[in-house]
Chains A and B, each alone.
Chain A
């Protein structure tokens, strides 16, 4: 059942909230007692939010706009593919920890195929071969197993230069960085981290920001308290990703139970 609809703004809405390297406060001041997201250190969070916002206005946003408008579309896609490819090992590790080694193998296969045939990950040949793309992180893995509602990631945090997070996702990020083979390699071979990993992180920031331009502009323009709107949207979106992971395992468990029943009969 297909029929037309529109929504280019929605296009970027998906990653929107995920990587809000931007962010910005209209105001900064006293803490609110708005309890839908637990935000015990709202005052410092708002302060960092406004600094992030300043950096965004001066540097990151203009870069992202130029990148989106001036770099040819195929090049943008190639860069995005390459960055995603560098992240595949971390996704695979998380898929194992999520109890899905089969999916982890598919991710590793993607990594091998795209790194070779896909010329260092610039082309996503694996998707064309039917190996679907996934993106996992430790924040989601923790959320999946935690005995807490998916929206409860502990205290909300705004990270300097990185944007919205919470205790769960920030701890996840530390873990992901620690197990990232490329980080380990750089450490083991004593590479100049700034020289080798800097470009990757810079590209990652610009690529991510270029995908959130429309959605973040929309949130900023249509909210009366940008900080609170971003806090809510981030929390909801991460919660939804975790909820979907949990539901997936639920249905699988259910099917397995039914199969067992059939065997007994």
Chain B
């Protein structure tokens, strides 16, 4: 029942997506990955972090991702809290990314299937091939929410960055009195470190 519906939806949507849109999405991910490689090869430390922040601002829909990651708490946060949260989360993520990629070790990325999902979401599959070990599956969730294509989530081996953050943030808020302010303060103090 569920299975057949999934097949039906998939088939119906496959006809709706224009080939141009699919190749745009693939191209977008390709360009993004090239930018990241270039950055990691040429910059280190604070410069690299600033570079990551720039790339993320340009290619990621950060407000949308932040809102998803905060879940129900977004609605309860004030305008001022929201913008502080986004700022702190953005610098935390760019810092995490710049530290994650130590030095470039010649990995290559191959773009795989591009498939549309409901609600204007396009998934671009890719695999990162390393010199040793099996390739890593990375899926890029893209959406055009008015400002052109943007990344709205990254899934590594099926683990969504946004969903993991949402669990993480929600648990933290709930265990610390249910006020979003505590999380924002924590993220801000981490960003300042």
Give me the interface of A with B, judged by CB distance under 8 Å: 1-11, 13-14, 16-17, 27, 29-30, 32-34, 36-37, 73, 218-219, 221-225, 227-229, 231-233, 236-237, 239-241, 243, 246, 250, 254
Contact = CB atoms under 8 A, between A and B. Distances in A.
Interface stretch (B14-22, B78-86, B141-149, B165-173): B165-173
Contacts of B187: 224
Nearest to B138: A10
5 contacts: A1-B111, A3-B34, A4-B37, A6-B104, A36-B163
A1 B114 CA distance: 13
Do most interface residues of chain A lie in helix, strand or loop, or is the interface mixed?
helix
Given A36-B163, A221-B96, A236-B158, A2 B109 contact: yes
Contacts of B163: 36, 232, 236
B122 interface: no
Interface of B: 3, 6-7, 26, 30, 33-34, 36-37, 40, 92, 96, 100-102, 104-111, 128, 130, 132-134, 136-138, 155-160, 163-164, 166-172, 174-175, 183, 186-187
Contacts of B26: 1
Contacts of A36: 163, 166-167, 170
Contact of B158 (A7, A27, A73, A241): A241
A246 B156 contact: no
B171 A34 contact: yes
A16 B40 CA distance: 23
A169 B3 CA distance: 23
B158 A3 contact: no
Given A224-B168, A237-B158, A240-B158, A3 B102 contact: no
A73 B172 CA distance: 39
Contact of A218 (B96, B110, B155): B96
A14 B136 contact: yes
Given A3-B34, A7-B100, A14-B136, A225 B171 contact: yes
Nearest to B32: A5
B166 A10 contact: no
A5 B37 contact: yes
Contacts of B30: 1, 3
A11 B133 contact: yes
Given A5-B108, A218-B100, A228-B170, 10 more contacts: A1-B30, A4-B37, A6-B105, A14-B157, A34-B167, A36-B166, A36-B170, A223-B168, A233-B159, A240-B158
Contacts of B40: 6
A223 to B, nearest CB: 5
A229 B174 contact: no
B102 A1 contact: no
A30 B176 CA distance: 10
B20 to A, nearest CB: 17
Given A7-B101, A7-B107, A7-B128, A32 B36 contact: no
Contact of A30 (B96, B156, B175): B175
B151 to A, nearest CB: 14
A130 B63 CA distance: 47
A5 B33 contact: yes
B92 to A, nearest CB: 7
A72 B146 CA distance: 53
Contacts of B33: 3-5
A224 B134 CA distance: 30
A28 B134 CA distance: 36
B190 to A, nearest CB: 8
Given A4-B108, A13-B157, A241-B158, A228 B172 contact: yes
